[in-house]
Amino acid sequence: MPTYTDMTRCDGCGDCVDICPSDIMHIDPVYRRSYNIEPNFCWECYSCVKACEQHAIDVRGYADFAPLGHKVRVLREAKKGSISWKIRYRDGRIKEFTFPIRTTPWGSIKAAQEYENPDLRALGSPLLAHEPEALHVAALPTIKKA
Amino acid sequence: MTRRTKFVDSDILIVGGGFGGCGAAYESRYWGRDLKIVLIEKANVERSGAVAHGLSAINCYMGMQWGENQPEDFVRYARGDLMGLVREDLVYDIARHVDSTVHKFEEWGLPIMKNPNGRYMREGKWQIMIHGESYKPIVAEAARKSATEVYNRVMVTHLLTDKTRPNRIAGAVGFNVRNGDFYVFRAKVVIVGAGGGSHIYRPRAVGEGMGRTWYAPWSTASAYGLIIPTGAIMTQMENKIVLTRFKDGYGPVGAWFLLLKSQATNAAGEHYEKDRYPEIKARVGHYVDIVPMPTCLRNHAMLEEIKAGKGPIYMHTQKVLDTKEKEEIGWEDFLDMTVGQAVVWASQNIEPKEKPSELITSEPYIMGSHATCSGAWASGPEDCAPAEYQWGYNRMTTVEGLFGAGDTIGGSAHKFSAGSFTEGRIAGKAAVRYILDRKNESPQVDDDYVESLKQAVFKPLETYRVGRNEFVAGTVSPNFITPLQGLQRLEKIMDEYVGGYSMFYVTSENLLNRGLELLRMLQEDFEHVGAENLHQLQRAWELQHRILTGEAVAQHTLYRKETRWPGYYYRGDYPKLDDSQWHCFTGSQYNTKTREWKMSKLPVHRLIEGFELLQA
Amino acid sequence: MFTTNPFAVLTDFLSPLAMQIYVVLMALAVVAGTLFDMVHKGSAKFFAQHRDESEARAQRRLGGGEKVSLAIATIAEAAVSGEFCKWPRRLSHLLTMYGFLLYVITTVVMIFAYPARDSAPPILPMLWTVGALMILAGGLWFFFFLRVNVSHDGASPFHLGQADLFIGSLLASAAFALIWDFMQTTYGHSIPTWIVFGAYIFFTTLLFVSVPWSKFAHMFFKPAVAFQRKLEEANGSSDLPGPAAENYIVRS
């Protein structure tokens, strides 16, 4: 379902242009607001929809196979680690869901270099970082060569 | 107009910020604390790659800690699914490490669904369910923190080899998609974690719906398009994947089949796979008895059913959503990774509790991270790979210093997201060792060649600028084609000659040869692609990577005189499985100067015993 | 300059009535332009249709008092440019918006209430100058650094397009106003002064007359739509999901 930007909600902040994995959210030359320049390369990944703080971007199902009158809208609340969906069917039926998206605070991942320096003699072994402990088994499996 | 050139020197250059690239960034930093690690991504690492939406399951997790599976079991499973043809060493290697990757993901904040007993909730034998909407942002955070520099919106168009040693990688070139700067990356090691190939074949939807390919439209086969010109050996490029998914939206079926235990029938409500058994056995012999039934054979049964006029094929969602919890799982399955399927339901008034949904086979894709394994021929793990499968550094291709992960690496099937990240880790560690083993080595790029590439990279802009003077307006020029026009020609050629959906995936020697002729003309026409702006320039180079990949696919498909995977594609002239001649991998090496492909057979070695070949 | 009403000085050559008629014409141009936009483009009809559809979906009726307080909230939000989610954009808009209000209001007061020379209290031309400077500060910052096509989409800071009609003519009006005031003060009614005055009038006229083609009218549309959204959230007809009840980030 390609995306479209609401004329009066978009305040031209550029977050959608920044995030789009397909490079298809760009700035319209007449209104200086965002729009989808290539709906046929839109995967409806919802990255731009979720990134827009004004909720100015929505999705309309691909005209090839999605009849009109539906809405699938989302509210991603990163600070709560949650995502909520509200789906309106063409016949008016509504469905709502909320799911978790993260259990730890954003920015809290311990970077690889924050761990103690590895023993470089282990470079020749097949063990990857944090192994074997992170495997939760005693040793890394291997196959004895014939 | 003079274009700025930016030089970026690094120890490790990672091309592509998807799961493979992010794994490489993390692990190479762990082992190479002082190394300069640069990650380049044509979009934005935060949501780039095939996991942009998110995922609802991790499809590769052993659960060794609970004795659920062992890596050998996974090898048996993957090789069965691939009708015997996997690099057992690479598959084993992923399987034995992937659990640590998944445990780190959980530690980083990925919510994994759990049973009351605390174990991960299994979708199926190898799969676990996750609340994965933010899977990519979480993994991107780890990679961003670990890399020295991350370049977003820089597309790599070509890899560079050493000035004096053509079989040694030295870096890459590319351009900034926003401001048009030319980038020259010089590195001791390059790890390619770029995307596999969507839009190689004509998709079923050709209007706006063309955007709803099963694999991301931005997986533009750069993994292959970048590596093929280096002369690295490629393997299994004929091993295209066709997926059975919910129609049009291409929503996932794994959770429906495995977790919710939903079933698929023809329009009359019949379970058709059993009826097709004798016919499949006539094609592939005892392979039909592999448990679980190989994906391609299941596709085949469905295709035969559809051709017999017994479709549509339905997934009976209405028979399994008897609790609110199951309904939520069913919807989350889509909303976490393929929102478009939820849109199809809402737009067509399909209430899954009341109505079944149609299933369909997709157009073919070329990739290495899913149930098929196209990609570069790579060195395997030193402790368990046979001698023919290793030449010193795990996941290094046959070009020195050129490593790969994810879709890039061939023969290594059923990795999926966690496996691709794991493969990135494996390549990352090996890359660090490669550099430390060669402390005094510093590959050199050929400056003249780089200058000529700079001209080539931006040429489509000039082609458009000059050619535009001929006509009033619009998109029709007698002298240039737009990237979309080129793409649609590629997709049509592949569809009609190399076994696309319109041919029910059938091809033959005659069709393939004709297809190769047309592909050659398309490749020649690439010199006349006109790009109106930088966005179109990105599309132009994506097209080049796809054309090269299409050609590789056609060559490999021509070479393998057999139908190894009915349901993925068929050689009409060699309709049966032939273990006497073709229980091997296909290999190719491309020469950019002569434009010739050197084909070869590569051996299949068994690490885990117990696979029976089909006697003639 | 600064303490002298520049329009009063201009009465040497132009009658106050002429200036007052010009101001009224510009105000009418804005009204006419906005109405034309709404009627000819059908934006009023679209807005009315959308409002009717959402009222049909309303889950509860809102009382008059509720609506008034939502309207006040909308105006309050617009007053602090709260619709901007990034602080540099918000700050530059506040500067430009309040600068514009100051500039316009002091212009009107000086032309209508103090046409005679030396009659205006110095605070008025001072505020007029400050208003114009605020427009330039906020507007130039926005124009060269913050316009989204420049900051995010690779356009040159010198790029000019139809979208820049409003900000461009506003900046030119304020800049030439200040230059004209300076030239009139320093060089009196000389040819160069007249030329700059001509530019000032040209761009000021362009600003108000180009409403059907510029983003001027959006300063009315946006608050109207913002108010409509608040109504929808309150009466349950919004198609956006409500905030989640749970917080899933459990570990510190």
Q: One-letter amino acid identity for B5?
A: T
Q: One-letter amino acid identity for B252?
A: P
- When CB atoms are compared, the residue of A62, A123, A140 closest to B436 is A123
Mutate one of B45, B343, B350 to test the A interface: name it (highest A CB count within 10 A). B343
Q: Which residues of A touch B134 (CB under 8 A)?
A: 78, 83, 101-102
pLDDT at C251 over 70: no
Domains in chain B (CATH in brackets) are 244-361 (3.90.700.10), 455-582 (1.20.58.100)
Check B213 against A43: CB less than 8 A apart. yes
pLDDT at C216 over 90: no
pLDDT at C252 over 60: no
Q: Which one is catalytic: B79, B144, B204, B245?
A: B245
- Cα A137 to Cα A134, B62, B199, C193, distances in angstroms: 8, 12, 42, 86
Check B335 against A100: CB less than 8 A apart. no
The 10s digit of each residue's pLDDT in B324-367 is 999 999 999 999 999 999 999 999 999 999 999 999 999 999 99
Residue B171 and residue B188 in contact, taking contact as beta carbons nearer than 8 Å: no
The Cα–Cα gap between B77 and B69 comes to: 11
For residues A68-97, give the mean pLDDT: 97
Check C148 against A27: CB less than 8 A apart. yes
The Cα–Cα gap between B15 and B159 comes to: 10
The Cα–Cα gap between B194 and B21 comes to: 8
The Cα–Cα gap between B508 and B532 comes to: 38
pLDDT at C117 over 80: no
- When CB atoms are compared, the residue of C154, C248, C251 closest to B179 is C154
The 10s digit of each residue's pLDDT in B522-574 is 999 999 999 999 999 999 999 999 999 999 999 999 999 999 999 999 999 99
The 10s digit of each residue's pLDDT in A88-137 is 999 999 999 999 999 999 999 999 999 999 999 999 999 999 999 999 99
pLDDT of residue C89: 95
Q: Which residues of B touch A63 (CB under 8 A)?
A: 207-209
- Does the beta carbon of A76 lie under 8 angstroms from any beta carbon of chain B? yes
Q: Is B591 a catalytic residue?
A: no
Q: Which residues of C touch A109 (CB under 8 A)?
A: none
For residues B170-182, give the mean pLDDT: 98
- When CB atoms are compared, the residue of C153, C229, C239 closest to A73 is C239
Q: Return the closest-CA partner of residue B69 out of B94, B96, B88.
A: B96
- Does the beta carbon of C250 lie under 8 angstroms from any beta carbon of chain A? yes
Check C85 against A53: CB less than 8 A apart. yes
- 3-state SS, residue B30: helix
Q: Which one is catalytic: B370, B395, B489, B545?
A: B370
- 3-state SS, residue C85: coil
Subunits close to A (at least 3 CB pairs below 8 A):
B, C
Pairs of CB atoms within 8 A across A/B: 266
CA C25 centroid distance within chain: 17
For residues B87-101, give the mean pLDDT: 98
Q: Which residues of A touch B130 (CB under 8 A)?
A: none
Q: Domain locations in chain C?
A: 6-49+76-235
Q: Which residues of B touch A104 (CB under 8 A)?
A: 108-109
- Does the beta carbon of C241 lie under 8 angstroms from any beta carbon of chain B? no
The 10s digit of each residue's pLDDT in B444-503 is 999 999 999 999 999 999 999 999 999 999 999 999 999 999 999 999 999 999 999 999
The 10s digit of each residue's pLDDT in B260-271 is 999 999 999 999
Mutate one of B100, B136, B138, B605 to test the A interface: name it (highest A CB count within 10 A). B100
The 10s digit of each residue's pLDDT in C156-176 is 999 999 999 999 999 999 999
pLDDT of residue A1: 52
DSSP string for B90-115: HHHHHHHHHHHHHHHHHHHT--B-B-
Chain A closest-CA separation from residue C221 CA (Å): 7
- When CB atoms are compared, the residue of B109, B111, B534 closest to C154 is B534
Percentage of residues in chain C having pLDDT higher than 90: 69
Q: Which residue of C has its CA nearest to B534?
A: C154
Q: Which two tokens stand for residue C190?
A: 């000389």
pLDDT of residue C65: 93
DSSP string for A46-94: -HHHHH-TT--EEE---TTT--SS-EEEEEEEGGGTEEEEEEE-TTS-E
pLDDT of residue B1: 56
User: Which stretches of B468-533 are DSSP H helices?
Assistant: 483-497, 509-525
- Does the beta carbon of B450 lie under 8 angstroms from any beta carbon of chain C? no
Q: Which residue of B has its CA nearest to A141?
A: B96
Q: Which two tokens stand for residue B586?
A: 């296909």
Taking residue C247's Cβ as centre, other Cβ atoms within 10 Å add up to 12
Q: Which two tokens stand for residue B111?
A: 């919510």
Q: Return the closest-CA partner of residue C217 out of C21, C12, C6, C33.
A: C33
Residues in chain A: 146
Taking residue A44's Cβ as centre, other Cβ atoms within 10 Å add up to 27
- When CB atoms are compared, the residue of B142, B346, B381 closest to A89 is B346
- Does the beta carbon of C123 lie under 8 angstroms from any beta carbon of chain A? no
Q: Which two tokens stand for residue B525?
A: 């026409």
- Does the beta carbon of A16 lie under 8 angstroms from any beta carbon of chain B? no
Q: Is B333 a catalytic residue?
A: yes
Domains in chain A (CATH in brackets) are 3-100 (3.30.70.20)
Q: Which residues of C touch B108 (CB under 8 A)?
A: none
The Cα–Cα gap between C222 and C226 comes to: 6
Check B178 against C154: CB less than 8 A apart. yes
DSSP string for B158-206: EEEE-SS-TTBEEEEEEEETTT--EEEEEEEEEEE----BSSSS--S--
- When CB atoms are compared, the residue of C152, C154, C248 closest to B111 is C248
pLDDT at A11 over 60: yes
Q: Which residues of C touch A73 (CB under 8 A)?
A: 239-241
Chain B closest-CA separation from residue A54 CA (Å): 19
pLDDT at B298 over 90: yes
Mean pLDDT of chain B: 97
Residue with tokens 């056995």: B281
pLDDT at B2 over 80: no
Q: Which residues of A touch B608 (CB under 8 A)?
A: 143
Q: Residue B386 contacts by C-beta under 8 Å, 6 or more apart in sequence? A: A145, B89, B605, B607
- Does the beta carbon of B121 lie under 8 angstroms from any beta carbon of chain A? no
The Cα–Cα gap between B289 and B280 comes to: 10
Check B534 against C153: CB less than 8 A apart. no
Q: Which residues of A touch C245 (CB under 8 A)?
A: 98
Q: Which two tokens stand for residue B247?
A: 């129609």
The Cα–Cα gap between B343 and B327 comes to: 16
- Bin B615: left if φ > 0, else alpha if -120 < ψ < 50, else beta: beta
